[in-house]
Structure 1
Amino acid sequence: MQESVYSPRAQHRRLPDDAPNILVVLIDDAGPGLPSAFGGEVSTPTLDRLLDEGISYNRFHTTAMCSPTRASLLTGRNHHRVGNGQIAELANDWDGYSGHIPKSSATGAEVLRHYGYTTAAFGKWHNTPAEETTAAGPFDNWPTGVGFDYFYGFLAGEASQYEPNLVRNTTVVLPPKTPEEGYHLSEDLADDAIGWLRRHKALDPSRPFFMYWASGCLHGPHHIMKPWADRYAGKFDDGWDAYRERVFERAKEKGWIPPEAELTERHPTMTAWDDIPDDEKPFQRRLMEVAAGYAEHCDVQVGRLFDELDRLGYRDNTLVFYIWGDNGSSGEGQNGTISELLAQNGIPTTTAQHIAALDELGGLDVLGSPKTDNMYHAGWAWAGSTPYKGMKLLASHLGGTRNPMVVRWPVRVTPDLTPRTQFLHCNDLVPTFYELLGITPPRTVDGIPQDPIDGAGFARTFVDRDAPAGKLTQYFEVMGSRAIYHDGWMASAFGPRAPWLPGLPGGIRDWSPDDDTWELYNLDEDWTQNHDLAEQYPEKLAQMREIFAIEAARNNALPIGGGLWVAAIHPEQRITTPYTSWDFTGDVTRMPEFCAPALGNKNNRVCIDVTFPERAHGVLYALGANGGGLTCFADDGYLCYEYNLFILMRTKMRSESRVAPGHHLVEVVTKYAEARPGGPLNVRISVDGQSVGETVVPVSAPLLFTANDCLDIGTCLGSPVSLDYFDRAPFPFDGSIDRMTVEYT
């Protein structure tokens, strides 16, 4: 009889014996002018430490937007080639804007897993088509369907840091604690990643791991506990213009930018700090203090993750990429806001309205708390992208696309404080993994022929700071803003919209990319795109524009500005459920708003078959969150309704008498008073056919209330929509709901 002999699985032998663990940390909506590591005034002790222990790249680039950067980074392809020309929620029928990463562009995680890596992702995902994010799936475009063995985080573009809608693998889960018990999402993501590392060490230590830890910070809403924000009290009192000047000089002193770099001027349509009325400045200062505390807190959580690598003995052979921002700082807070989805809904407001609503909640100290969805003024975003002109959503200028990256790999990389200056792109990471591991990009994955890799490996620069890397040509395009880099030159077209201006441009329907003015820069001599050479070198500009046209066609980026189709031209075509009627049992919860009935902006009828106890309490249904939503609930037997328009306007209704105990049919009918998006709504509530209240919602949300919250029946498991039950959340209904039907009318 032959003895059994243990041998490692065949797939393990496909990797070098010293194959490193790989950890990619991706921060969100953060520009290079924020962290102390590069001259900013936001304390980033972990990034500072990593800078001392590794090497850095000051010409690393992203796409200027969330989903596009992530799709590109994870696949090694250009973002339009993998269907992510804009965020997943604004997908349309053009190939480059479909919102679907094709199976012909397998993620690096999928390939590494085939070679023997175990893989895990944590935090913000934002690459699953919005219509596929319910608990029913399908799951092939969730993280576990595209290469990750384990996932814990959220599928949408943003989340409340206190009451997020979370997923573990393919199961919707609730946060492990409440805000009152000290819950914060950044801490939870670090805790879960640490737990995963410990399980890996105990259960499967022979396999290398690939971990993708992508925090939702510094994306809005800016949520952080008051003591963290208070660390920055008074530090930003002189405003964003002065901040930029200080950070610019400090970045030069640190050697992060070259001595010949020039500080760019503020765009003429952007507000100067001196233009802010004195009575509004405390509000604007506090918004930045909260953002700074939020960013520091996240960096500290990354530090906890790194400390665990050390404790488990993984430090020396773990290759860490710490990328500060999936795009530049975000100006979507525009003039400063206590509910940041106002910008996406295009609802005009004044700063005075925000301050007045904030005063009713308790004043400036409430900013950053579960009662607000605040986000800073676009002036702070511009300051956060120092020394560049742009910010998030501007693919034309480096403030939207240039993000710092620090790399540490103690066993192979000698620390060097002088930044490397190779022109790199986020699509270069995956081919770098392959280069290090001796993997030839596969021709097929799971039987599916693969598209070419667009990125270029830069592993040689780890040991030779002057080694050539990356590629000669890289295009950029988001929402019509675009640029082309080629061999030291960049040509740029600003596009149809400035992210810091409220609303959408009135003339965007008539915009044509053919009418845009192009700028030309020699980046080898002009670090910050400060000197436009278009008139001086028209032939060079023509050559660059031709290169852009070729790259755009080759990568499915046509039509230029295709990402604007849903957002600005046809909002009625946004991703939404295909159904027009629903039949729910009374225990359906956590149905993402993108897939739920649009109770706040479509004519609809809700009928609830319900049994009331004596003096009933609790939520019958809630859609959205404290930052914006609507809800119907019972309070001491009275039937109540609230339409919360982004905290600034709350339309409430309460029945004159209590609903008698027993079985009833509650009906809520919503109908536009004027047939236009955002127009007033008539809302009527009846019990057993008898009207108990009517009201008019003066302004409605034309797009949606939230990016990540849900419809709940019989409770409010997310952020409480109404302050009337904020302290009683989740405020479950103490009767019974047999059935709830919804139909569009």
Structure 2
Amino acid sequence: MQKRPNVLIILNDDMGYSDIGCFGGEIQTPNLDRLADGGLRLTQFYNTARCSPSRASLLTGLHPHQTGIGILVDDQRPEGYAGNLSANCVTVAEVLREEGYRTYMSGKWHVATSKTEPTDTWPKQRGFDKYYGIIAGSANYFYPVTLTRDNENIEHEALNDPEFYFTDAIADEAVGYIREHASKYPEQPFFLYTAFTSPHWPLHALPEDIARYKGRFSNGWDRLRKERLERMIEKGIIDPKWRLSERDPAAPAWEDEEHKEYRELCMEIYAAQIDRMDQGIGRIIRQLEESGQLDNTLIMFLSDNGGCAEELAPGPGTNLVRGKSARAETKKGEPVLFGNTPGIMPGGETTYQSYGLCWANMSNTPFRLYKHWVHEGGISTPFIAHWPERIKDQGALRHTPGQLTDIMATILEATGANYPSEFNGNTIPAFEGQSLLPVFDGDAEREKPLFWEHEGNSAVRIGKWKLVRKYPGAWELYDIEADRTELHNLADSDEQKARVLDMSLQYEAWASRCGVIPRESILKWMESKKKVNS
């Protein structure tokens, strides 16, 4: 009889810290709320500020620079990163398959340079018995490019299905894996990685989901941010002494917004995308229940980075089409209108838009900054852990800091799996994280420092202190216990100069050890590439 737990990781894409209901948001997420009520919410868990690096770190237990994916999946050599998941690391799937687990994945991969031709960095070649999803980083929800089953392109399935919606397909595939596993392999545990693209742009949602949010955001981002903060304080997620960050200087006051109807619809669609994902998560949970697997399944839910403030410029969408993130035409041959243009209402397949900076500022309530940056708004994720056979303090909060490198360590301890020093003839560095299982029992002091770097934006956290900089600016120092919203920079105070120096030296030692490439080298590569293409 199976004793070892199943492991299910649910990752979503470009969602802010406080969007879902159990973290204070307006979006209806009853299934995630159920997992939180029956499990734990970690309030200070961190991702790595961007899609590909977060996925590389989650899968390997290493910092993304150690895996070859310091930024995205561009090959930036010799100045920069390879953009491919390195052979000198192991994925959770590879580790668990060696231990007798069946391994499955549905959703977004985004850790391979090649998006159309199978390579040794595709899911089937990195430990997964079965795979369904997209290899690229984003996609039309109704007709995604790079849609793949195992190693075979199956875009035609979406083309020929008038009801196709990618969020549903990801969830349904996960449900099918669980059902088939229970039937064929009842004695084996499984590992399932379900990586939704929701709510990453484009703003594509189903009309019935959009309708549920009609008027919900009509009070605008200023009032809604304050209301969210109040709910977060009531839930115990946010300390009352942490002051709400100011509205982003690039965002107008809601009362001054000229295109309120358009802006409201953008947020309604974003909410509908998350709502639909939650519906799919509900089907996954029900299938686990029906197969008698729920109690012995460790489920972890999180987002790959903070809310995304990226504005999509009007135009032909050439780079998106070339990069396999979009199509120039719909299934019916209609032209796709790219860019955030008020008056062109998003939601359907003929548009390709994002919800923009103003709503991303709300998504990250109460923090500042966004995806790309390593201030709290860029790296803070809602984290839910659910495992009835192990978690007894159901519905509780944990405030111990953690980050993506801890996922591997947690799974190793939970399953008893062995982490290799060599794999397929390659030397494998030790994983960087520490197990979260002790935190399931109660808050504890963090033993290891936390480190981040993305596009020159850098940070280190040791205890309550966080040293952070927005490239190419100077270091800032914050007391996270007193000021997690990072409003009072203490770096220039005489009392903290020694701390700033010590923490910056620890950061530099980590960056050197983990292969962080100076931002200047990457910019040099980008400039040279631009000249070649001009």
Scaled by the length of structure 1, what TM-score is found?
A: 0.66
Alignment of 1:283 onto 2:280: no
Q: Structure 1 residue 566: deviation in Å?
A: 5.1
Cα separation, 1, equivalents of 2:405 and 2:524? 25
Alignment of 1:441 onto 2:419: yes
Cα separation, 2, equivalents of 1:265 and 1:28? 25
Deviations along 1:644-686, whole A, 9 cap, x unmatched?
xxxxxxxxxxxxxxxxxxxxxxxxxxxxxxxxx5xxxxxxxxx
Cα separation, 1, equivalents of 2:411 and 2:207? 40
Cα separation, 1, equivalents of 2:410 and 2:531? 39
Cα separation, 1, equivalents of 2:292 and 2:228? 37
Match of 1:181, SS?
coil
Counterpart position of 1:483:
459
Contact kept in structure 2, 1:77 and 1:454, CA below 8 Å: yes
Unaligned runs of 5+ in 2: 324-337
Contact kept in structure 2, 1:91 and 1:563, CA below 8 Å: no
Q: Structure with the greater relative contact order (CA < 8 A, sep ≥ 6): 1 or 2?
A: 2
What amino acid is aligned across from residue 100 of structure 1 in structure 2?
N
Counterpart position of 1:329:
307
What amino acid is aligned across from residue 466 of structure 1 in structure 2?
D
**1:561 to 1:168, Cα distance in 2 relative to 1, 3 A:** farther
Q: In percent, how many aligned pairs have the same letter?
A: 32
Cα separation, 1, equivalents of 2:382 and 2:511? 26
Q: Structure 1 residue 208: deviation in Å?
A: 0.4
Deviations along 1:40-89, whole A, 9 cap, x unmatched?
1111111111111111101110110000000000000001111111111x
The correspondence of residues 592-631 of structure 1 with structure 2, limited to 5 A, is: none
Counterpart position of 1:460:
438
What amino acid is aligned across from residue 260 of structure 2 in structure 1?
K
Match of 1:485, SS?
strand
Cα separation, 2, equivalents of 1:562 and 1:24? 34
Number of aligned positions between the proteins? 517
The structure that is helix-richer by fraction is 2
Alignment of 1:378 onto 2:378: no
Counterpart position of 2:6:
21
What amino acid is aligned across from residue 439 of structure 1 in structure 2?
A
**1:409 to 1:563, Cα distance in 2 relative to 1, 3 A:** farther
**1:169 to 1:198, Cα distance in 2 relative to 1, 3 A:** same
Deviations along 1:340-379, whole A, 9 cap, x unmatched?
978999xxxxx998235x2xxxxx3xx2111111211211
Cα separation, 2, equivalents of 1:56 and 1:336? 39
What amino acid is aligned across from residue 499 of structure 2 in structure 1?
K
Q: Give the superposed CA RMSD.
A: 2.5
Cα separation, 1, equivalents of 2:486 and 2:500? 14
Counterpart position of 2:387:
409
Task: Give the greater-gyration-radius structure (CA).
Answer: 1
Alignment of 1:56 onto 2:65: no
**1:81 to 1:60, Cα distance in 2 relative to 1, 3 A:** same
The correspondence of residues 343-422 of structure 1 with structure 2, limited to 5 A, is: 354-355=341-342, 358=344, 364=345, 367-395=346-374, 397-422=375-400
Scaled by the length of structure 2, what TM-score is found?
A: 0.91
Counterpart position of 1:85:
70
Which of 527, 530, 534 is the equivalent residue of 1:572? 530
Q: Structure 1 residue 466: deviation in Å?
A: 2.6
Deviations along 1:159-182, whole A, 9 cap, x unmatched?
110001210110111353558732
Contact kept in structure 2, 1:232 and 1:293, CA below 8 Å: yes
The correspondence of residues 206-225 of structure 1 with structure 2, limited to 5 A, is: 206-225=187-206
**1:162 to 1:100, Cα distance in 2 relative to 1, 3 A:** same
Counterpart position of 1:133:
115
What amino acid is aligned across from residue 262 of structure 2 in structure 1?
F
Contact kept in structure 2, 1:42 and 1:292, CA below 8 Å: yes
Deviations along 1:294-345, whole A, 9 cap, x unmatched?
111111111111111111111110110011x100010112689997978999
Alignment of 1:517 onto 2:474: yes
Counterpart position of 1:4:
none
Counterpart position of 1:547:
506
Alignment of 1:155 onto 2:132: no
Unaligned runs of 5+ in 1: 1-15, 346-350, 359-363, 496-512, 575-601, 603-676, 678-745
Match of 1:316, SS?
helix
Alignment of 1:119 onto 2:77: no
What amino acid is aligned across from residue 25 of structure 2 in structure 1?
G
Counterpart position of 1:616:
none
Cα separation, 2, equivalents of 1:531 and 1:552? 26
Counterpart position of 1:107:
91
**1:573 to 1:187, Cα distance in 2 relative to 1, 3 A:** farther
**1:565 to 1:123, Cα distance in 2 relative to 1, 3 A:** farther
